[in-house]
Structure 1
Amino acid sequence: MGSEDDDIERLAGVLEDATARTILTEASREPMSATTLSDHCDVSEPTIYRRLDDLRECNLLVERTQLDPEGGHHRTMYTTNLERISVELRDGEFDLQVERREDPADRFTRLIEGI
């Protein structure tokens, strides 16, 4: 089994989970904290954190720190960077394509580094 086959199985395993799919759909609308995601998914925070780890390992979700201007604290927010997943069967082999949204800050950094 090759690396791409492993990627397909790992991704399929993560997306098979209803909580992971709900996290992706909710976090695609707006960045959310783990607590908010726990409420939306109707599961415990430890379960949410496990699924967040799985989604980050597959690079389907990104973590951002948001400052609270009133309290001076910060909180971690999660948002999806997934645009599209496609799996095609060509000549007896699977071809996995994962398209991700690119963060404007990352795009800017890449532009500057290319100069």
Structure 2
Amino acid sequence: MLVKGVLSADDALLARDCGADGVIVSNHGGRTLDGAMAPIEALPAVADAVGDTMTVLMDSGVRRGADVVKALSLGARAVLVLAETDRVLAQIGCSCVADLHRGLLTPRGGEIAWAR
């Protein structure tokens, strides 16, 4: 069972404690609460909180392959989107998604940007 709409570490831990197999970090495309935080901003805290104890997926706000690569680097096991990522992986020197890690990204001015 996956719980969708998780935007905090506390909610992810609650879902895990209630027996969920995983969570989907999502704001439902911004359609439900227009003031909700972006999933990419919530993802690192959620992934850190649950570690390897459950699956973390992400959707919402994904517009291009670079967004997929960022989400995978920040802890999502998969991203719910129909985007091609091969081109972006090659541009940053990764041959597959297993090569992704947080060191490829760096906080810059409140945004997450490429380190290289």
**TM-score, reference length from structure 2:** 0.28
Greater strand proportion: 1
Larger radius of gyration: 1
Instruction: Calculate the TM-score normalised by the size of structure 1.
Output: 0.28
User: Where is the helix percentage greater, Structure 1 or Structure 2?
Assistant: 1
